Amino acid sequence: MRSWTFSVPLDAASPTPLFAQIAQAISDDIARGRLKQGDSLPGTRTLADTLGVHRTTVAAAYAELEAQGWVGTRRGSATFVATASPDAEPRRLTRARPSPGVARRAGFPVEAVRERLQDEASPPGTLELWGGSPDSRLVPVELLARAYRRVARDHGVHLLDYTGESRGQKRLRAAVASMVSTARGIAAGENDVMITRGSQMAIDLVARALVAPGDVVAVESPGYKLAHAVFQRAGARVVPIPVDRDGIDVDELQRQTASARIRLVYVTPHHQYPTTVVLTPTRRLALLELARQHGMAIVEDDYDQEFHYDGRPILPMASADPHGQVIYIGTLAKILAPGLRLGFVIAPEPVLARMAYERELIDRQGDGVLECAVAELLEEGEIQRHVRRMRRIYQARRDALCEAIDKHLAGAISYVKPPGGMALWTRAAGDVDVDRWQRRALEKGVHFQTGRQFFLDGARAPYARFGYAMLNERELLTAVRRLAQAL
């Protein structure tokens, strides 16, 4: 048994814990040969007395060394230096003077993010004309809270366990199936529905289920860049198809099929995102037939079906799809609030089965209590009543925004009043630098989106998009006046 003296002083003021300092000093002595294989170390009490620390501190240091492979123990005998060193070179258990907090750089390669997919948060007090988000101030919070409490009280023990289905709670699937059958003409049953955490997860799961590296995916241009990014991340070659006043150009899509086998096409036919144009019946039928001929999937993102103000809304393509070409995506986020993260998918069984498998790999199951609470509100008709109220409010806000633009921005931008939706797509006059206008407007407390944010190449485009659902009529008038000042 060799005599060994611990000669390295401990620094009680160091951010490195004392046990880690002890472990580091011992491992250094082993690595440079001062302690040999098989040498015994002092008992925890003896070393603690020598160092003037608590015995548990030494015990923690020995445990760390054993976990690293530097030492071993035998029942009834002292701790000893392991017969095989874990490394030929000294292993640093910790740095002598670590910087506070989490390291700013990773110790391994990480691909850098080259593009932000969403805008950074605006300063407090900014009037948001961004996107087409609903007004969360109008969410029936009390109704939702009561339903949540009832479900949690009566079924919480079951719903809070690992008992949820990857396709979502049966109760909500049945309620959604009833909703789309009654209001959207889609003859779906509960087994045809999958609940997701928002429509964005639905798009991602479709990509995971159907798209392989090298596949070709057609998208609208301008269009929804978060969807474009999902397909690109799946390894697809994304092909932009122009949008005009009648929606996506199906003739151009057909021309593309002559040179490439298109795996799927992603469309927003009810109120095209971002232009809000409605895909005409003729083009809908042509798109369905083209998909049938070429074995192509149609991903129909119907993100705001409820908010159509002028005339009757056109039924989804999924309601007239006898050949199983359409994967229909809907959301409850626009009806209630984006933060609830509730979307749904209606698709043929093989597609749902594959999506459920992919969902289990990343999320396992959704929020069972929330899903059942929202199902209860659908069953009782509360959400349907809320939708009717919101439709009247958002229509009035659309009209107020158009009136304010006609008064304060006439000549600077032009637009066609949309028949529905939650945003206005405008074209700027030739002498208006839209990107500079956006920056100056933000300085005055208004945030809107520019055209470049909706094209794959991100090139400058003379368009601006103004969401009106988030603000009331007074706030919209103030926002437009500030936009005029920013010009």
The alpha-helical segments, DSSP class H, found in 32-72 are 44-51, 55-68
H-helix or E-strand containing 158? helix 141-159
SS3 410: strand
CATH class in words for 1-99: mainly alpha
What predicted TM-score, i.e. pTM, was given to this entire model? Answer: 0.79
When pLDDT is cut at 50, 70 and 90, the band that residue 367 belongs to is confident
* Cα atoms in the 13 Å half-sphere on the side-chain side of 353: 3
- Using left for φ > 0, alpha for ψ between -120 and 50, and beta otherwise, residue 166 falls in alpha
Tokens coding 333: 């986020």
Identify the DSSP state of 99: P
Tens digit of each residue's pLDDT (9 = 90 or more) over 298-326? 999 998 888 999 888 789 999 999 999 99
Domain boundaries of the chain, sorted by first residue: 1-99, 127-136+385-486, 140-380
Segment 235-253 mean pLDDT: 97
User: Is 303 in contact with 199 (CB distance < 8 Å)?
Assistant: yes
HEC assignment per residue over 297-311: EEEEECCCCCCECCC
Tens digit of each residue's pLDDT (9 = 90 or more) over 276-292? 999 999 999 999 999 99
CA distance linking residue 226 with residue 240, whole number of Å: 14
Tens digit of each residue's pLDDT (9 = 90 or more) over 80-128? 888 776 754 545 544 444 445 677 788 888 888 777 666 667 788 899 9
Q: pLDDT at position 355, please?
A: 96
Q: pLDDT at position 97, please?
A: 47
> Tokens 């995506």 label which residue?
329
> Tokens 């995916």 label which residue?
217
Q: The CATH number of 127-136+385-486 is which of 3.90.1150.10, 3.90.700.10, 3.10.20.740, 3.40.50.960?
A: 3.90.1150.10
For strands 463-467 and 216-221, give the pairing. unpaired
Segment 197-214 mean pLDDT: 96
Tens digit of each residue's pLDDT (9 = 90 or more) over 25-67? 888 888 877 888 888 888 888 888 888 888 898 888 888 888 8
CA distance linking residue 434 with residue 475, whole number of Å: 22
For strands 423-428 and 127-128, give the pairing. unpaired
Least Cα distance to 64 among 31, 26, 16 occurs for: 26
For strands 463-467 and 71-72, give the pairing. unpaired
Tens digit of each residue's pLDDT (9 = 90 or more) over 329-346? 999 988 888 888 899 999
CB proximity list for 100: less than 8 A, separation 6 or greater: 15
Segment 132-144 mean pLDDT: 89
User: Is 226 in contact with 200 (CB distance < 8 Å)?
Assistant: yes
CB proximity list for 330: less than 8 A, separation 6 or greater: 176, 180, 199, 302, 303, 305, 343, 344, 345, 346
CA distance linking residue 222 with residue 140, whole number of Å: 34
Asked if residue 220 has pLDDT above 60, the reply is: yes
Q: pLDDT at position 429, please?
A: 93
> What is the Rg, in whole angstroms, of the alpha carbon atoms belonging to the chain?
31
When pLDDT is cut at 50, 70 and 90, the band that residue 215 belongs to is very high
* Cα atoms in the 13 Å half-sphere on the side-chain side of 413: 31
Tens digit of each residue's pLDDT (9 = 90 or more) over 410-421? 999 999 999 999
Segment 129-140 mean pLDDT: 87
CATH 3.60.15.10 fits 140-380, yes or no: no
Asked if residue 486 has pLDDT above 70, the reply is: yes
